[in-house]
Every structure is written in structure tokens, then in C-alpha cells.
Structure 1
Amino acid sequence: MIRLVFTAFALVSALGAQAAEPIRSHHAVRTLDIYRHIIEIDTSKSKGNTVPVAQYLADQLTAGGLPKDDVEVVELFGFGALVARYRGDGSSGKKPILFLGHMDVVEALAEDWERPPFKLTEDEKNFYARGTVDNKFGIAQLTSTFIRLKEEGFVPDRDLILVFTGDEESAMVTTRYFAQKRPDILEAEYALNSDAGGGELNAKGDPIVYAVQAAEKTYSTWEITATNPGGHSSRPRLDNAIYDLASAITNIQGYRFPVQWSEMTRAYFKETGELIGGELGEAMIAFSYDPNNEQASDRLFRESSYVGSTRTTCVVTMLRAGHAENALPQSATATVNCRIFPGTSAAEVEHVLKEVVANDGIQFELLTDVIESPVSTPREDVMLAVTKAVYSRYPDIRVMPYMESGGTDGMHFRRAGIPTWAVSGIFMNPDEMFAHGLNERVPKATFYGALDHWSIIIRELTGGAE
């Protein structure tokens, strides 16, 4: 683990902590306007709409000073994407830096939400809407920062390239295009992703740690299906497709994949455990010293924010079954989504699931391409720049690499040979992280506290630091 300590700029920092009240600067107002506009366009897969969002952002960037020839809206298979190049003077002789984000969001059913999911609402503490965290926060902050830097006359010593994708939450067609088919993108030295990483706050709102995402688990989804001849519902059979599937689901629910670890995850648990303290912190520390400590791993298994860092996980996320209320089901299907620990293959996970289900009649179909991505070893200049941005808000907290339990666009860029670190400007309590869930929200203090996050990082990395 890299531990970095700064003194000079920590003393200079006038904030000390995130601003609890909105900062009514021009940059703050513009960032909120962009945020509100893109949030209030439903960019879930069923609605599309990433093309108009990409065009809106392109218009904002060109109005903010980027030449039209350097801003491109891409449309692939109905999904929109955006590429924008902020040209530097080339004085460093270094390759460009990529800045990543995604404009699409997960579906949100309005009838299930307490607030309208596609209207930005607020109370004294939070902003609420689908995408407030994942990932329109990063999109708005990066877009506004590029405009701000242009207004300030900033000239980096190399090119900066925004890459905003349109289907990260589904097929990643646009991501694959940029990571496989675009030489102008693939020339980048490395990428910084706005879609993961960030700071952790405790229940009191105090900072605990800032985590830089340097690796992520492998994303794989199966459909498992039980079939049956069916028949009339007045003549029940002893075998039933829904019952067979229900039994398989129960078996998956009750199974725990073996504990796994890396030096990075052990270091993360040791450092975080020391900061959190209490029963959970003690379990983290115990796990870091001995991952085979069952009491510690059992305690972490109960924590949704941390279980993914201890093992492969599989969970049933969708169901469909039957064809008529008065007919025995002829088929029943469940979607099983797995996040696979690095070093384990999807084929191995499927083999385990088939053993767990223990029914040869259950059919398995792998729905996803399996993308295994390498760890991006942290580099000093990136960690220094990120740490300076973090210290401008919370001096002296620990900054450390970690493995993401979920999956992001970063996996494709890492696989393409571009080291990628996710360094979101978000600070929040992980227990209040409702990305993909009901009533997604982000603390207003985090939104306003992140306004300088990307400009500090960019200036540090491209020779424009004050």
C-alpha cells in the first residue's frame, strides 16, 4: 500500500472538511445546472436517450471554449457516447490522459420510489434521483471542470480526453468501441475513472479513508432455466418448473464461495479496520492478518459494503416463469449475476453453481462476455495528485488502493493495456449508497465539496499546479 503524507498544502487548505453549504460560485451554479439537466433525462436502457445527453454535453463544451472539431458525439446501436479533447501544448512530450464516465443509468420504477426518480429533488442534506451517484455525478463534475479550466485559460502540458459512454450498465458496446477500435483513444498513457473510488464517511459524517480503485472483479451473468411439459392447473404434477427453480435459487442463496484475498485487499482491510474501530473494525483487522479466520470472514459476510472484497458473490436478480394462471408452468428462469474474484474463471464459477443447484435438469446459459482485467499498479504521480485533491477537503486521511466489487468501463481499458484508476470526488457513508437501488441520493456537501476535485488533479498531473 502507498501511504502519502502532505504538509504544505494541508496547511494551506482553508476548507478542512467538505463545505456543508452550497458555494454559489459560477462554477458551482453551472455544475448543478448540468447535473440537473442530465439527471432529468431518463437514460436507462429501455428509454435510451444517451444520444441527446451526449449532444447536450457536447454543446456545453463547445460553448465553453472547446473547438467543435475536438468534440464528437458517437452513436452505436442506439447508444450515444461523447469524446472531447482538451488540447495541451505538448511541452511534456507525454501521451494523453483519459477521463472516463458513463451517461446511462439503471432502470428506476417511479411507483417504488418515495420521490420521482428522474427529477432532481433535495432536502437539507441530500440530492435525490437516479444517477445522482452512478454516474451523472462524475459526468457533471468532469464536464464543468473542463469548461472551468478553459475559462481560466489553463493550458495543460499534454492532451486531456473525455470519454463518456452510453451503455456501461448493459452491454458496454460503446465502451468496447473506444477500448478496441479507436487508436486516438488507445494512445493514452492512463485513464482516470469518475465511476468508482472515493471517500468513506462514518455515520457521524467524519472521514475514514479515501480509496483509489485499482482493480475490479469479473462481471458474469447466467440465466438458469427449469423446464416441464406443463399441463392443466387442475391436475398438478409432482414435478413443477417453478418449484424446481425455487429449489435451485434457495441452494444458491445458501452457498458461500470460498474466501479469497490479495495483498491489496488485506492491506485495505487492515487500514480501514484501524480507522473504523469497533466490532466491524476488529473483524477487518483480524481478516487482514488471517483471511482464514472464519469468525472474521463471517462478520464481513454480513456487510454488503465489504463482502465483495472477501470472495466471489452470486445473487439472483430477476425472475420470469409460467405462461397462464390456469396452466402448469412449462418454464421458469432466473437471472444470476456474479462478481468473480480475480484469479477465478467464469467457467469455474459455473461448475460450482451447477454443483450447488444439484439438478441436472436446470439449464445454464452464460449471457455476458467475460472480461478479466489486470490490476493497475498505483503510480506515484497519480496518487500524489489524488491525495492533494483529497487533502483540500480532508487533510491527512489515508489514501489507499482497493479492489472494486462491481464492474466499470475501466475493465475494458485495463484489458486494452491502459492502466486505469477510479478516483471519484464522492465522499459518503457506504451504508447510504443506494446506487442501482431505491431513492438513490448523494450528500449535498459532497456535491459542493467535489467542485475542485478534478481541477486539482488535472493541474497536478499536467504541469499547471499553482
Structure 2
Amino acid sequence: MHIRHLLAAAAALALAAPSFAQDAPHQKQAREIYAKVIGFRTAEGQGKVPEMARYLADVLKAGGVAEADIAMLPSGETTAMLVRVPGSDANARPILFSAHMDIVDARPEDWSRDPFTLVEEDGRFWGRGTHDNKAGVTAMVSTILRLKADKARPKRTLVFAFVGDEETGMVTTGLVAGHDWVKTSEFAINTDAGGGGLSPEGKPLIYLVQGAEKTYATFELTATNPGGHSSRPRKDNAIYDLARAITRVEGYAFPVMSNALTRAYIGAVGGALPGAAGQAMKAFAADPTNAQAIAAISTDPSFNGTIRTTCVATMLEAGHAENALPQKAKATVNCRIFPGVPVADVKAKLVEVVADPKIEIEAIDDPQASPVSEMRPDVMAAITRSIHKRQPGVPISPYLESGGTDGKVYRTAGIPTFATSGLFIRENEMFAHGLNERLPVESFYDGLEHIHDLALDLGGVR
């Protein structure tokens, strides 16, 4: 995913944007690629990611990329693809750019337009993946093709990763992070998050660069019981035991936390938000122990996750027959853990909060903590130069992502990662993962230029 929770208080009215036609050859070419990749239903279970990767590889080879500079990293039904643009300085560490080819699936019968056909209408591009993350895929492909067309050779080697399962297991992201072309990268630019917020009237409010993500961890809470006939109820009922447990989880608020990145983010958003909400954020940034500010922020789901670990019940499963007492009841509790907090500590707190030895609590899979990437002056300067070309003077701030992207895999592998897409969007038009996903046409073209700018600037092309 993307900045799913930016400036919710500013979201209200969706205004139609004017058409934003672009006629430069690279822009026309990018639009054709964008339309083609939207047409691939690259959701889990569809088996279409390798087909999309082969299409992109053919486009890139036709544009001058050597076959030796393209690597496929298959995993089950999906694949990642790496594309290398060799640099002139063999001693300089490479820079990684990343986007994901896969999508959350969409049911065509539920959409107002075919989700797998790119539609340009009312100043927006419509279709599954238009925002998350095929705009980023297209921007990276366009950048590579422009470098080749211009015969531009960067000082640093640039490696472009097209990931195949960001929306699910991120197995191919791990393959990317461990690849010889990637594992020595000095840092990564992730196109799958970071971006700008627009007011309801379309005014740029702020641009955010993701420098950290909360750790994603899911726990199963299970109550078991011998059960019996439903005509003979007993006090120790697995469903009731589980219900009490998840009610206790609901009632617990994890401690407020902050770091330099989150304080900078909340302060910057506070400066862009009007009224009491903005004042509370600025007060928290100045003093993260301010009880009044904490209370105000905690009531807003868009920002509560920025100041603490959160755990929430997301799924339930119980019983085996309508006329039998339940032998098992299970709840899935998803936690988004503040950077630096061990997963084991969160599990221990859940055990303490549930306070019932009959409830078994176990983590699903093997969640890994994701470290913070400290903002690099050279990266922030390059991002600022690029954004200010098109949105002069807009405030730029780092932020903590409450959701999750491939960045957590790269950071865990020791590659500092900064997410920046170049896209601006109104909060009330963020429909990634939802119905009728869309992206302002102007944002799509701005994103092309942004990734190209960064490749030139950070790669040392002059």
C-alpha cells in the first residue's frame, strides 16, 4: 500500500479535475504501458504476474535493456523481476527502486467500470492498481526507457525491483533483498507509499516521505472446550470465554509512544490542518506527554495508530454444529506494532490483558520487526527538489506508515528505505484495495517525472 490516513479531517468534497493530456513521446508510451498492465489481473490465485513480467521484459529489451540486465525470481505462481542499469563507478554502491506488480483482487460485477480496463474519465484514471501500485511500476519502466533512449549512464548502478507478492506473503521481496544485485544497495526508493495530500479544492497541503512502518503481527486467540449437547448448557462455553477475551483486548489502549520521525510528521500535519485537530497535533509534536493532545489524537482512527501500537479483532470462527456446544472458538487479532517494540512484548501484553489461562495466544507465521530508516539529507534534498518543481513550497515531512509495504523487508535486510511516489491525491479519493480505485491523471504524469528525477539526481546522471 500508500498514505492511507493522510489528513482525513480535510477530506470532504470530490471535485472533478480537468483533463490533463500529455503529448511528449515518453508520456504517450507510459500511458500505453499503464493501460496494458492494468489489464493484467495480477491478484493472488490468478497466475498473471509472470505474464505481466514477461510483457515488461519485452518492452524493456525493445527499449535497449540487455537481456543480461534482466533477472526473473520466480516463487510459486508469481515472480519478481529485477532490471539493472549499470553505473560507471564500480566502487559506488547501487540504489534500489521498487514497485509491486500484484494487486488486491477486484470483482468486476461490483465495480461501476471494468477494473481491468484503464478508463480515463473526469480527470482520473480508473482501474484496479491505478494507484496501488501500477502507477509506480509504470514510472519505473518509463524511467528505464528514458535513460536508455537518452544514452544516459548513471554514476551509480540503479536496480529496479518489480515485486510479485507485496499484497500477500512478500516472499519475492525477500528474494529481491537477498539478490547479488540488490543486497549491497546503499538505500532503496519505494514507489508504493509516500505522497501528497490535496485539500477538497485540490490545493497541495503536504508531501510525506515514508521512513518507517509499523511491524505487522497477527495473533490467534483460541478457546477450547469438551463441548456437549446444546440442550445441556454449561458455564464453561468456548464462545463466551473467547468473547470475554476479545472484549478485554478492545478495552486496552497500548501506551503512547513517539520518536523523532513521528513527532516531525505529526507536527507537519498539524501545521497543515486547520482548527482544533491541527492545534492538538502541534501540541503533541512539542510535548508527546500532553494529555489533552493525546486524548484528541486518540479519538481519530487516522492518527491514533501513529502514536501507539494497536491490536484489533478482525476475524472469528467458532463452533461446529448449531445443536452442539462449541468445542473451539478462535479470533484473529491483527496488531500494528510501533517501531522498536518486540513482537514478544506485544504477545506478553495480550496474555496479561486477556487474563485467562484457558485462552491460547499464538502468533501467525514469524512476524519480524521493521526498523526505522533515518532520513538522509541527500535523499530528502532530491525528493524536495523534484516535488517543488511541480508543487512549489509545499511542506515536506517524513512519516510513519501504519500499514505495510515491501519497505519493511528491505529495512529488515539492512537496506534503508524511503517511500516516495510523487502522487498527490485527495483523502476521500483513496480507494486502493477498495471499489472503483482511481488516480488523478495529473498525478500519474507527475509520478513519472518524480521517479525519473530521482534516478537522475540520486544516480549521479548530469
Superposition RMSD in Å? 2.4
State the SS of the aligned residue for 2:177.
helix
Whether 2:217 is the aligned partner of 1:220: answer yes
Give 1:207 shift: 1.0
Whether 2:90 is the aligned partner of 1:79: answer no
Identity, % of aligned positions = 49
Decide which moves more: 336-345 or 294-303: 294-303
Contact kept? 1:138, 1:425, Cα under 8 Å: no
What do residues 403-437 of structure 1 show as CA deviations (whole Å, max 9, x unaligned)? 22222222222222222111112211334323333
Structure 1 segment 423-438 matched on structure 2, within 5 A: 423-438=420-435
Paired residue type of 1:344: V
State the SS of the aligned residue for 2:316.
strand
What do residues 229-262 of structure 1 show as CA deviations (whole Å, max 9, x unaligned)? 3344555554443343333333323322111101
Contact kept? 1:179, 1:186, Cα under 8 Å: yes
CA separation of 1:68/1:220 partners in 2, compared to 1, >3 Å: closer, same or farther? Answer: same
Paired residue type of 1:281: G
Give 1:314 shift: 1.5
Contact kept? 1:157, 1:463, Cα under 8 Å: yes
What residue is the counterpart of 1:453 in the other structure?
A: 450
State the SS of the aligned residue for 2:206.
strand
CA separation of 1:352/1:109 partners in 2, compared to 1, >3 Å: closer, same or farther? Answer: farther
- Distance in 2 separating the partners of 1:116 and 1:239: 51
Whether 2:392 is the aligned partner of 1:395: answer yes
Structure 1 segment 29-108 matched on structure 2, within 5 A: 29-90=28-89, 93-108=91-106
- Distance in 2 separating the partners of 1:209 and 1:111: 36
- Distance in 2 separating the partners of 1:362 and 1:252: 12
Contact kept? 1:131, 1:440, Cα under 8 Å: yes
- Distance in 2 separating the partners of 1:373 and 1:89: 33
Decide which moves more: 293-302 or 107-116: 107-116
What do residues 98-123 of structure 1 show as CA deviations (whole Å, max 9, x unaligned)? 10111222344556555444443453
Paired residue type of 2:25: H
What do residues 10-68 of structure 1 show as CA deviations (whole Å, max 9, x unaligned)? xxxxxxxx985131333223222322322332222233422222222211211221011
Structure 1 segment 3-402 matched on structure 2, within 5 A: 21-90=20-89, 93-110=91-108, 113-180=111-178, 182-233=179-230, 235-402=232-399
What residue is the counterpart of 1:10 in the other structure?
A: none
Contact kept? 1:313, 1:338, Cα under 8 Å: yes
CA separation of 1:349/1:458 partners in 2, compared to 1, >3 Å: closer, same or farther? Answer: same
Contact kept? 1:224, 1:333, Cα under 8 Å: yes
* TM-score normalised according to structure 1 size: 0.88
Give 1:179 shift: 1.9
- Distance in 2 separating the partners of 1:411 and 1:240: 40
What residue is the counterpart of 1:6 in the other structure?
A: none
CA separation of 1:297/1:324 partners in 2, compared to 1, >3 Å: closer, same or farther? Answer: same
State the SS of the aligned residue for 2:418.
strand
Decide which moves more: 108-117 or 121-130: 108-117
Give 1:320 shift: 2.9
State the SS of the aligned residue for 1:51.
helix
State the SS of the aligned residue for 2:182.
helix
What do residues 298-323 of structure 1 show as CA deviations (whole Å, max 9, x unaligned)? 32223333222111112223333333
- Distance in 2 separating the partners of 1:362 and 1:437: 34
Decide which moves more: 116-125 or 81-90: 116-125
Structure 2 gaps of 5+ residues are 1-16
- Distance in 2 separating the partners of 1:61 and 1:41: 17
Give 1:81 shift: 0.5
Contact kept? 1:89, 1:155, Cα under 8 Å: yes
Equivalent position to 2:402, from 405, 412, 417: 405
State the SS of the aligned residue for 1:184.
coil
- Distance in 1 separating the partners of 2:47 and 2:315: 21
State the SS of the aligned residue for 1:83.
strand
Contact kept? 1:22, 1:448, Cα under 8 Å: no
- Distance in 2 separating the partners of 1:94 and 1:279: 48
Contact kept? 1:268, 1:400, Cα under 8 Å: yes
- Distance in 2 separating the partners of 1:56 and 1:69: 17
- Distance in 1 separating the partners of 2:414 and 2:378: 19
What residue is the counterpart of 2:7 in the other structure?
A: none
- Distance in 2 separating the partners of 1:19 and 1:146: 29
Number of aligned positions between the proteins? 446
- Distance in 1 separating the partners of 2:326 and 2:108: 30
What do residues 178-217 of structure 1 show as CA deviations (whole Å, max 9, x unaligned)? 223x222112222111111111222222111111111221
Contact kept? 2:18, 2:122, Cα under 8 Å: no
State the SS of the aligned residue for 2:370.
coil
CA separation of 1:26/1:330 partners in 2, compared to 1, >3 Å: closer, same or farther? Answer: farther
Contact kept? 1:58, 1:73, Cα under 8 Å: no
Give 1:284 shift: 0.7
Contact kept? 2:163, 2:172, Cα under 8 Å: yes
What residue is the counterpart of 1:11 in the other structure?
A: none
Paired residue type of 1:106: V
Contact kept? 1:389, 1:453, Cα under 8 Å: yes
- Distance in 2 separating the partners of 1:142 and 1:371: 28
Paired residue type of 2:450: H
- Distance in 2 separating the partners of 1:129 and 1:335: 31
Give 1:462 shift: 2.6
- Distance in 2 separating the partners of 1:109 and 1:318: 21
Contact kept? 2:19, 2:122, Cα under 8 Å: no
- Distance in 2 separating the partners of 1:38 and 1:166: 13
CA separation of 1:224/1:125 partners in 2, compared to 1, >3 Å: closer, same or farther? Answer: farther
